[in-house]
Structure 1
């Protein structure tokens, strides 16, 4: 890795400043997600319950952590636990899978609702969930059967009509959520229904109270790994409601309902939720009587864990791990997260009416040379080591290593080289005029950059990027924005803030490797608003009939990863670990997929949490 002394000095100086700042602080604005496990082969914990740093270098490896909590003691009947949702802002409170858009809301949802299908460790749907399925020989028609004992928490059965109703709402022209994308337009008759040319979706048929059939236009390898929408919507509750008003209704925000292991008992909006057990849960009566979920600030997570104020959290700020690895009352679980952090460039807007990306060929960040230079200017390898002690590391492509079959480990992305960045800008006509560069036409170039607030690292890290870009002559203004406002401004509601040129964010990717939900032309989550014929071609080929051959699909996504490296609509910065500390009284708990452990099995070995020894 090439470094020049001037740029290296800028980086090291900033690291020294940050080290002093962080000496008295221990927090981070991470937004990782712990999920209820899916069935599959049981995962056995290794002998060590915590990881140690690699010899001499002070770095840790996520490979040294367990995914399954080691049980200690005997499970009590009943009891309660407290779950900490680590965030510096309230959760938004859109508590329905058909409408939510933020990870904190998903962390609330997991306790009282779930999908009708589950998946195994390889992210393939199984027949072990609340519904089973059969697939026709041509791979286009799925027949689903919901189990007889699957009921909504008000006692009404979950029906095939509810599953159809979810598709009708998401496909409706007045739907205001983020789910309508290529997975839905691939259903026969969905486009005609969405356009108002048909009153029903011809490709979906209710065969009985508990049986639904869906026929897709094209059989794709993604259908078995996340391409089927598995979240029903209670028609007896929402059936007479205006579609445009459902997401803001009290039935979504104040009194949500599901068919998961716990029921919502009470909500303090944005702050806390009390859940009580759902004795009628289809997998069996939960072991616990109650779960208390509360939002805790990243700056207080350590104190909350040490005191027993929370039993477990959705995710632990990994920068705080080295100072707390020996916390005596918890066991740290860990895994490679299905996530990456990235820098995005605004290249267009969202067409709300057509529900497609609308590229802008005159966008300020439209020059790929400018975008590539900004990638070359930042040393993410050093960031991962210095800030995160090896538990986050330099990212290279937009398919993370959580999907090892498709992540191209041979692709090194764009490497840190500030001198090459300067030359690239020089050659592209961005000339220095004093401290900063102008546009090629000689006009002033000021780049507006927004990043999310979080813990003490959030702003210094964003300022490192600004300083790195200043070192190559770019004038970048930083604005720190809280979580919910941030995503509004980058376009989660379809309204792109024209004042935003560049942003730093993170994606928790789906179980299916298909990246069209983030970078397709009809994906509202395509926040850079990037679209080209080549991008559409590669994404389409990735779910084509020929992609059923895994080696062919690997080749397609290898090509797509390189294409996105070349085009730089966004660039990945860090791949992420997920660390979850769990109080030692907790039993039957796991993170990730394929463990065969579910939230209804969660139990405790004593009434009160263990408290850390001082």
Structure 2
């Protein structure tokens, strides 16, 4: 009896200890809606922000964006720049570790950057690192890999030599393409290095599991140099491109963050959730691209006419509830030191634009009294994009009598089709600044940009101006050259900018540490959750 009583008391005591310890032992889990399934988790092949959000939780570049969207030290604790601005020397953190416990070395970065520029890798974003000396020539197979301006001085010292001074180089290094890979892991595992259970990463989290189109789970990386300040134990990404479903899951408290909800829900959601609804202006442009390889889109008059006939004020107010602004330039406003070049028809009333558009279309031989105009609009699956396409289709039907149809694919398939050079008539696209410089938007239309020049625009004068901008060292003169290039782009209209975007987020009140920022950078390591 005595033994039983002692056992009973011990059990009660153990239970009390467990109960008391319960809250402290509870996992801190962030549930992130991510607006689509990532095409890849390979730094060398990433291209869209839903991949970026995941990759930047898993890996850490030399520089990173902090919670406010500012560039701060990442895997590099410090750096120096030569007087002529062409040599950067980075000092890596002594305690920087991969998730397998091995040290992050300068050689890992040399290997990673070289891998991106290796023509065999076929990295779609290789141009991000083109400022590195000889990178473009190496990427085009004109020079050997050993000619890159990269040097591991010692295990923790990386020297990077540039072609020319590049004011935004530190921002480029925070791009997902510049995230490192473990040399040892890639050499051992090949393409499988991205798989759960195999991936070795150096960021605040490590990959645990990935069920395509269901969820992707990352857990805190105990070997991360700043692990003591990472407050989340786990982040679960949900690749849901159904915006209504995302909102329902947020309202059911199944997701803490939702990226890109339907704009027509802004007023309703604000009424119910107040400050949990975030409308954050960003450096991003929503545009339609014309396939200039085929008629009639090879005709500048047709492109200009179609662009003029789009009532951007209607799109901004009626479809996006004022959360986005009409756009007449490819480069969004707010870029420090640069004034965007707007299309010449931007100052006209919509009625005057439509009258001018009819004249241009008639000159091209299409529309009423001319050849029939049949147009297919492609867009990635999304209620807002569908509403924009439907509205634009009606505008073109009413203005030109065009026969307009629409086709949509999921976000991964849509961009894969465009990036692989698939033929189209008109295609929806968006560009979010990789770094705060006008070149980032204007480089999309350079003829040699095989990945993002979707409509294959080819203009010798435009290419020459962009080349001149890369060679110009005076910031004010360079800005003028870029402005001239954009003015030409807006005259030719191979792309029709429609809207300057805002990022729409639902952020649960239980999420702490969130800061809206124009760069739309929200690393999970800066967030926490409270019940």
Q: Is it true that 1:259 corresponds to 2:259 in the alignment?
A: no
Q: How far apart, CA to CA, are the structure 1 residues paired with 2:494 and 2:250?
A: 40
Shift of the 270–522 alpha-carbon distance from structure 1 to 2, 3 Å rule, reads farther
Equivalent residue for 2:41?
Answer: 95
More contact order relative to length (CA 8 Å, sep ≥ 6): 1
Q: How far apart, CA to CA, are the structure 2 residues paired with 1:448 and 1:363?
A: 13
Residue 520 of structure 1, aligned match among 442, 446, 453 = 446
Equivalent residue for 1:307?
Answer: 252
Q: Is it true that 1:200 corresponds to 2:146 in the alignment?
A: yes
Contact residue 42 and residue 194 of structure 2 kept, 8 A: no
Equivalent residue for 2:411?
Answer: 483
Q: Structure 2 regions of 5+ residues with no counterpart?
A: 1-22
Shift of 1:412: 6.5
Residue 151 of structure 1, aligned match among 88, 92, 97 = 97
- SS of 1:543's partner is helix
- SS of 1:578's partner is strand
Residue 29 of structure 2, aligned match among 77, 81, 92 = 81
Equivalent residue for 1:39?
Answer: none
Higher helix proportion (structure 1 or 2): 2
Higher mean C-alpha deviation, range 423-432 or range 201-210:
423-432
Residue 540 of structure 1, aligned match among 451, 456, 467 = 467
Equivalent residue for 1:450?
Answer: 378
RMSD: 3.0
Equivalent residue for 1:15?
Answer: none
Equivalent residue for 2:291?
Answer: 346
Contact residue 30 and residue 232 of structure 2 kept, 8 A: no
User: How high is the TM-score relative to the length of structure 1?
Assistant: 0.74
User: How high is the TM-score relative to the length of structure 2?
Assistant: 0.85
Shift of the 235–196 alpha-carbon distance from structure 1 to 2, 3 Å rule, reads farther
Equivalent residue for 1:317?
Answer: 262
1:155-214 CA distance string (max 9 Å, x none): 121111111111221222211331222742752366257527535134211101121112
- Which structure is larger by alpha-carbon Rg, 1 or 2? 2
Q: How far apart, CA to CA, are the structure 1 residues paired with 2:380 and 2:520?
A: 33
Q: Is it true that 1:425 corresponds to 2:425 in the alignment?
A: no
Residue 288 of structure 1, aligned match among 226, 229, 232 = 232
Shift of 1:253: 7.0
Contact residue 244 and residue 261 of structure 2 kept, 8 A: no
Residue 278 of structure 1, aligned match among 221, 229, 233 = 221
Q: How far apart, CA to CA, are the structure 1 residues paired with 2:520 and 2:44?
A: 26
Which runs of at least 4 in structure 1 moved beyond 4 Å after TM superposition?
75-78, 119-129, 252-255, 409-413, 593-598
Shift of the 396–123 alpha-carbon distance from structure 1 to 2, 3 Å rule, reads farther
Q: Structure 1 regions of 5+ residues with no counterpart?
A: 1-74, 349-361, 439-443, 607-614
Equivalent residue for 1:465?
Answer: 392
Q: How far apart, CA to CA, are the structure 2 residues paired with 1:383 and 1:604?
A: 36
Q: Is it true that 1:382 corresponds to 2:328 in the alignment?
A: no
Q: How far apart, CA to CA, are the structure 2 residues paired with 1:130 and 1:221?
A: 18
Q: How far apart, CA to CA, are the structure 1 residues paired with 2:470 and 2:362?
A: 40
Q: After TM superposition, list the pairs within 5 Å mapping 1:151-230 onto structure 2.
A: 151-181=97-127, 183-184=129-130, 186-188=132-134, 191-192=137-138, 195=141, 197-198=143-144, 200-226=146-172, 230=178
Residue 507 of structure 1, aligned match among 421, 425, 431 = 431
